[in-house]
Chains A and B, each alone.
Chain A
Amino acid sequence: AQKVTQAQTEISVVEKEDVTLDCVYETRDTTYYLFWYKQPPSGELVFLIRRNSFDEQNEISGRYSWNFQKSTSSFNFTITASQVVDSAVYFCALSERVGYSTLTFGKGTMLLVSP
């Protein structure tokens, strides 16, 4: 069975600090997909990134960066120079099967960025 663990329940930082959100996953499949979603207080789930199991290249998008390490089954997310607008709940998720598969979410990490 697949499992996603986000050990950090809540993180509080001051604006402009860097912050890393941890994600550890478990799966028996060799082909799988990892996702990060942002959920602001308004409720919608905003897609941030998708990574497949064969692509361990790290990715940077503006202030966001992701570190995928299969050796440790981790897919961590770093926000550089955090801003108040980054305050939200962040979910890491795993999808195992190719095709119309389903997402298994971690419990989420609430990030609070104060001015």
Chain B
Amino acid sequence: DTEVTQTPKHLVMGMTNKKSLKCEQHMGHRAMYWYKQKAKKPPELMFVYSYEKLSINESVPSRFSPECPNSSLLNLHLHALQPEDSALYLCASSQDSLSGYTFGSGTRLTVV
């Protein structure tokens, strides 16, 4: 299995909703990442987990809450989002820089 699987592929949520994005990989990678990508922009790093511990938080608002339950799973809990949070959310994993990064296909989030 050489894939990063993200669910759901599309999500529409209201500003008062609570939802979660899920990411799963079975490649034994020890680092997992959340990126946010707005239309016509490059991906921007949000969080990095290394060995299931949060190692980088790029000053992301608290309405985004990451969680890494185990080495294969990465969640992003969403609460009280704003319309400007609408974007493509990409999950990635890596073993190290030598092996590169594998990205999931993303979740297209729309906040209404």
Contact = CB atoms under 8 A, between A and B. Distances in A.
Chain A residues touching B, majority SS: loop
A42 B98 contact: no
Chain B residues touching A, majority SS: strand
B96 A99 contact: yes
Contacts of B43: 45, 91, 103, 105
Given A42-B105, A43-B88, A98 B97 contact: yes
A97 interface: yes
B63 to A, nearest CB: 22
A107 B42 CA distance: 5
B42 A100 contact: no
Interface residues of A, number: 24
B45 interface: yes
A108 B42 contact: yes
A102 interface: yes
Interface range on chain B: under 10, 10 to 19, 20 to 34, or 35 or more? 20 to 34
Given A45-B43, A107-B42, A97 B106 contact: no
Interface of A: 33, 35, 37, 42-47, 50, 52, 91, 95, 97-103, 105-108
Nearest to A106: B42
A100 B48 contact: yes
B42 A47 contact: no
B106 A95 contact: no
A21 to B, nearest CB: 14
Contact of B55 (A95, A100, A106, A107): A100
Contact of A100 (B31, B88, B90, B108): B31
A101 B101 CA distance: 10
Nearest to B104: A44
Interface string B72-108: 0000000000000000101010101110111111101
A46 B103 CA distance: 7
A47 B102 contact: yes
A11 to B, nearest CB: 15
B97 A91 contact: no
5 contacts: A35-B100, A37-B103, A44-B105, A45-B92, A103-B101
